[in-house]
Amino acid sequence: WGATVITSMVWGGFSVSNATLNRFYALHFLFPFILAALAIVHMITLHKHGSGNPLGVDASSDRLPIAPYFLFKDAVTAVLFVLVVIALVSFAPNWLGHSDNYVEANALVTPSSIVPEWYLLPWYAI
């Protein structure tokens, strides 16, 4: 019952229409940003000085602090990744696209590119 109520509140009712599908797609759009925020919160709250101990040695000399090394390395990687994605989206936006993305959302029509697997057809018939 709870799942039905939560789904009804998130989706906006039991009818599946264009507004419902757009809301569903918007939630999927926000999901990567939520994951990124959780990763940042994880780095801020859980990583303490000397917590990077890959060998499990008790000596403090073998531990690398997260602050200068790992954060800089991860920041450079994230900046490079974002620059590549921005360049790709800005200069060649359709390379990552699919023709079905330009079709208006309609829950009653399955795109012709979606074909069910032959071995699942008996279960679809039930």
* Per-residue exposure over 97-106, b if at least 16 CB sit within 10 Å of its own CB, e if not: eeeeeeeeee
Q: 5 φ, ψ to 5°? A: -65, -45
Catalytic residue flag (residue 74): yes
Residue 52 DSSP code: B
Q: Which of 28, 90, 113, 117 is catalytic?
A: 117
Q: Which of 8, 51, 60, 99 is catalytic?
A: 51
Q: Which of 74, 98, 99, 100 is catalytic?
A: 74
Catalytic residue flag (residue 73): yes
Catalytic residue flag (residue 49): no
User: Residue 71 is encoded by which pair of tokens?
Assistant: 């954060």
Q: Which of 48, 73, 98, 100 is catalytic?
A: 73
Neighbours of 64 (CB within 10 A): 13
Catalytic residue flag (residue 113): no
Q: How far is CA 23 from CA 15, 16, 63, in A?
A: 13, 11, 46
Give catalytic residue positions: 47, 51, 73-74, 117
